[in-house]
Amino acid sequence: MSKRHPKDLILPNLTVTDAAAQGKSVSHSEDGRAVLITGAVPGDVVDVRVTKKKSKYYEGTVERIISPSEKRVAPMCEHFGVCGGCKWQNMAYQDQIFYKQKEVENNIRRIGNIEPNEIVPIKGCEKQYFYRNKMEYSFASRRWYTREELNTFGDIEGEVGLGFHIQGRWDKVLDVKKCFLQRDPSNDIRLKVRSYAIENGLTFFDPRENTGFLRTMMIRTSESTGEVMVMIQFYHEDVPAREGLLNFIKDNFSEVTSLLYAINPKSNDSLYDLDIKTFYGNDHIFEEMEGLRFKIGPKSFYQTNSTQAYQLYSIVRDFAQLTGNENVYDLYTGTGTISQFISKNAKKVIGVEAVPEAIEAAKINAQINGITNCEYLVGDMKDVFDDAFVSQYGAPDVVITDPPRDGMHKDVVAMLLKLAPKRIVYVSCNSATQGRDLDLMRHMYSVEKMQAVDMFPQTFHVENVAILTLKTTE
């Protein structure tokens, strides 16, 4: 092979055979190496520009589409390929969920060394666009310019932007014209706030120089109640400027029921340690599900696809097979949405979560919903899940676990095996780490059934729910 820089190397006429992890597609070069391609769809025939060259594989981007796949569709969003948020928007939805299902099955079989007794087809999403209930935008003193813009206009004077950080660039923001992820009035609010700020001389944040006034804007919407929350982070206080912008939002968007702000002079945009103040309306919105009401504040975790969250929780409840007599552990409970959703079918539910604010929200929601059989405590699962915990709360009949992407800590898995509950419902946003954990438990548990749930259309992300049943000893 040539010693040229990888970016000067073109692999011609490659047939894309499959989807790979992280939204890439896969082909093979003449020398037998795998080629992981950004921007291709299985079935495409493409020329690929190599961006990374390794001993066993290449990574690259589509240089030219020679023959488009039947699975390929025209992306709806003008920012596709630049934004980086919806990597599969160029693939037909039925093919997206096919490859999500395939990835989950492969991970459980290859990493977990398990053949489930039953695989229920993936639960697709009826709303393939405008399904998110939370979006976060960043203000930037100089927006990101595409290659086409630079080639067309040459040197461009600095222009502000309000949108998403370019993948891998903490200091560059794409100015978003229209996003297809969150329902109205999200796009209208963002565009009018941008225009108001420019017209009134409000400066946008520069993360390199730590200058500017406007930092971030978060918009949360409730599918069930129609409520809208807007929260602005300002880099420093300027009462007239701040009140001018917030009054503009209040006066022009009657849908906004919660208008919040925070002054953030830190080096990062994290809001979890900020003092958030209410400018207008409530400090929260509500989401409703089967008569339950969940109070959502600016720092709350709530599944970002409300409609599919209901489908996910329904599958969890079905898999748990509760009769009303069970003691249930809900590990990594978050704000307690799953535990409260299944509480009427259980004798008692114990929820554990490492984030104190999440547990506080869980307790508030339980009180709002009149639920008395859920108990919540703060703690890192690997530290608190021990013999003393079981002695205090009683041995579980059923365990529901919904860990972060890294999966369960090995000490948590060991404790589950020691307790040997009759059923474990494992909810995962990363079937690779789920497979790893299931492999550790397969000598004691059978995977009776599993079902993937598509929470994020147009992306490669997928959830998977598995029900594990304790093997009987003869």
C-alpha distance from residue 280 to each of 169, 243, 263, 337 (Å): 34, 11, 16, 27
State how far Cα 313 lies from the chain centre.
Answer: 16
287, two tokens: 């989401």
DSSP string, 58-78: EEEEEEEEEE--TTB---S-T
Which H/E stretch holds residue 463?
strand 463-470
Instruction: Map residue 186 onto helix, strand or coil.
Output: helix
DSSP string, 330-381: EET-TTSHHHHHHGGGSSEEEEEES-HHHHHHHHHHHHHTT--SEEEEE--H
Distance CA 415, CA 470 (A): 14
Bridge-based pairing state of the strands 398-401 and 327-331 = parallel
Distance CA 212, CA 216 (A): 11
| Domain segments of the chain as ranges | 6-72, 94-128+305-470, 134-289
Asked whether the domain spanning 94-128+305-470 has the same topology as the one spanning 6-72, the reply is: no
Show pLDDT as tens, one digit a residue, over the chain (474 residues): 445 556 679 999 999 999 998 889 999 999 899 999 999 999 999 999 999 999 899 999 999 999 999 999 999 999 998 888 899 999 999 999 999 999 999 999 999 999 999 999 999 999 999 999 999 999 999 888 777 776 666 556 668 999 999 877 778 899 999 999 999 999 999 999 999 999 999 999 998 899 999 999 999 999 999 999 999 999 999 999 999 999 999 999 999 999 999 999 998 999 989 999 999 999 999 999 999 999 999 988 889 999 999 999 999 999 999 999 999 999 999 999 999 999 999 999 999 998 888 899 999 999 999 999 999 999 999 899 999 999 999 999 999 999 999 999 999 999 999 999 999 999 999 999 999 999 999 999 999 999 999 999 999 999 999 999 999 864
Task: Spell out the residues 6+ positions from residue 408 whose beta carbon is closer than 8 angstroms to its own.
Answer: 331, 381, 401, 416, 437
* This prediction's pTM: 0.92
Q: Which fold has domain 6-72?
A: OB fold (Dihydrolipoamide Acetyltransferase, E2P) (2.40.50)
Q: What is the pLDDT of residue 2?
A: 46
Which H/E stretch holds residue 281?
strand 277-281
Tell which CATH architecture fits domain 134-289: Beta Barrel (2.40)
DSSP 257: E
In this structure, are residues 108 and 129 in contact, taking their beta carbons and an 8 Å threshold?
no
Bridge-based pairing state of the strands 327-331 and 348-353 = parallel
Is the bond preceding residue 185 a cis peptide, omega within 30 degrees? yes
Closest CA to 139 of 215, 213, 211: 215
Instruction: Map residue 199 onto helix, strand or coil.
Output: helix
Residue with tokens 């969920």: 97
Distance CA 327, CA 350 (A): 8
- Please give the positions annotated as active site: 429
In this structure, are residues 426 and 434 in contact, taking their beta carbons and an 8 Å threshold?
yes
Q: φ and ψ at 376, to 5 degrees?
A: -125, 145
**Number of alpha carbons in the 13 Å side-chain half-sphere of residue 215:** 24
Q: What angle do CA 411, 414, 415 make, to 5 degrees?
A: 90
Bridge-based pairing state of the strands 423-428 and 374-378 = unpaired
Domain 94-128+305-470, CATH class in plain words: alpha beta
308, two tokens: 């599919």
Cα dihedral 44, 45, 47, 53 in deg (nearest 10): 70
In this structure, are residues 219 and 169 in contact, taking their beta carbons and an 8 Å threshold?
no
Position 370, amino acid: G
Q: What is the pLDDT of residue 228?
A: 98
Position 466, amino acid: A
